[in-house]
Amino acid sequence: MPPLPTVVVTGGAGFIGSHTVDRLMETGHRVVVLDNFSTGKRSNLARWAGDPALDIVTCDITNGIFAALAPLTKLHGPVERIVHLAAQVSVVHSVANPHVDMTVNYGGTLHVLEYARAHHVKKVVFASSAAVYGDVTQLPVAEETACQPVSPYGIDKLASELALDYYANVHGVPTTALRFFNVFGPRQDPSSPYSGVISIFTDRARAGKPLTIFGDGSQTRDFVFVGDVVRGIVAALGDGNSRMIANVGTGNEISVGELARTIVDLCGGKSTLEHAPPRAGEILKSRARVDRLRDALGVVAQTSLVDGLRATLA
């Protein structure tokens, strides 16, 4: 039997990463997770415990990935493709610690690209973010929109996209950057105050606790279910679409206030809504144009917000 194609998933113990690992394992890949477990958890991958097709390596991306991968490639052959998700994920944290954000998010991407260049990796798929756009006036926001990030997190994601383009152009490394909008679903960790708003709201609404809305609640987001995001990642991992940047969202937006009321209703209506001052670096309006996701990658988000919320609550 030919060896299974090896896919490396950096940040594979995290929220989006572990769902990506699930899909890759289900479709017959050998998967190597590189993660420092700063926000990721081994329990997210518990379902694959003992499966010889999955290797989990503790690795800080800021130290590079050559040493972490060398023993495994010696055993199983070369890495074919990489999904690069490992990151410092908090916009607020990036405002307070811009150097840390640059080292992990931009520096980590450079380490991944250096490995891909040296080992002739067939595709690098990078988790970029809608944060690269900053505060846009025209919605839905298309990939051609001029990027004006308003946080170090957005700047480092944009710099990473430029690095992907450079490695594709100059070194021939095939790359695709996916600009995720607001991803939600099971396993998103509500324990951090900077975690995804849906995970925090569902966690509190289930317990009947008040929900805190930063600002007046009129800020909008394009919330996309994690299963749909994984379909985008898997499609981008294929050959083709190199040097491409694609939004990953639904093309719909909802205000945070309306989201809060929907979640409270789904949880039986016990929680009250409270307001706190707006947060630094937060964008006001967000909705993806999703034509490229559909036309180039053949992916259309299928899960409605309410269905996704029900799956998250379950």
Catalytic residues: 153
Of residues 220, 188, 215, the one with CA closest to residue 201: 188
Among 6, 109, 129, 252, binds ligand NAD (CB under 6 A): 129
How far apart are the C-alpha atoms of 31 and 47, rounded to whole Å? Answer: 14
Compute the distance between CA of residue 32 and CA of residue 173 in angstroms, rounded to an integer: 20
Closest CA to 15 of 283, 155, 287, 198: 198
13 near ligand NAD, rule: CB under 6 A: yes
Q: Smallest distance from the beta carbon of 187 to ligand NAD, in angstroms?
A: 8
Asked if residue 11 binds ligand NAD (CB under 6 A), the reply is: yes
17 lines the binding site for ligand NAD (CB under 6 A)? yes
**Applying CB under 6 A, which part among 58-66, 67-75, 164-172, 272-280 lies near ligand NAD?**
58-66
Helix (H, G, I), strand (E, B) or coil at 203: helix
Are 9 and 17 in contact by the 8 Å Cβ rule? The answer is: yes
- Which residue, 61 or 244, has its beta carbon nearer to ligand NAD? 61
Of 175, 182, 220, 241, the residue at the interface with ligand NAD (CB under 6 A) is 182
Among 60, 165, 258, 282, binds ligand NAD (CB under 6 A): 60
- Residue 62 lies near ligand NAD (rule: CB under 6 A): yes
CA dist., res. 213 & res. 261, Å (int): 11
As given in the structure block, the two tokens for residue 275 are 């307001």
Q: Using alpha carbons, select from 159, 95, 92, 171 the residue that is nearest to residue 126.
A: 159
Residue 305 is a binding residue for ligand NAD (CB under 6 A): no
- 175 is a contact residue toward ligand NAD (CB under 6 A): no
In the complex, what is the shortest distance from the CB of residue 129 to ligand NAD, in angstroms, rounded to a whole number? Answer: 4
SS (H, E, C) 104-160: HHHHHHHHHHHHHHHCCCCEEEEEEEHHHCCCCCCCCECCCCCCCCCCHHHHHHHHH
* CB nearer to ligand NAD: pick between 104 and 260: 104
Instruction: Kindly tell me which of 14 and 251 has the beta carbon lying closer to ligand NAD.
Output: 14
79 binds ligand NAD (CB under 6 A): no
Binding residues for ligand NAD, rule: CB under 6 A, are 11, 13-17, 35-40, 59-62, 85-89, 104, 127, 129, 180, 182-183, 196
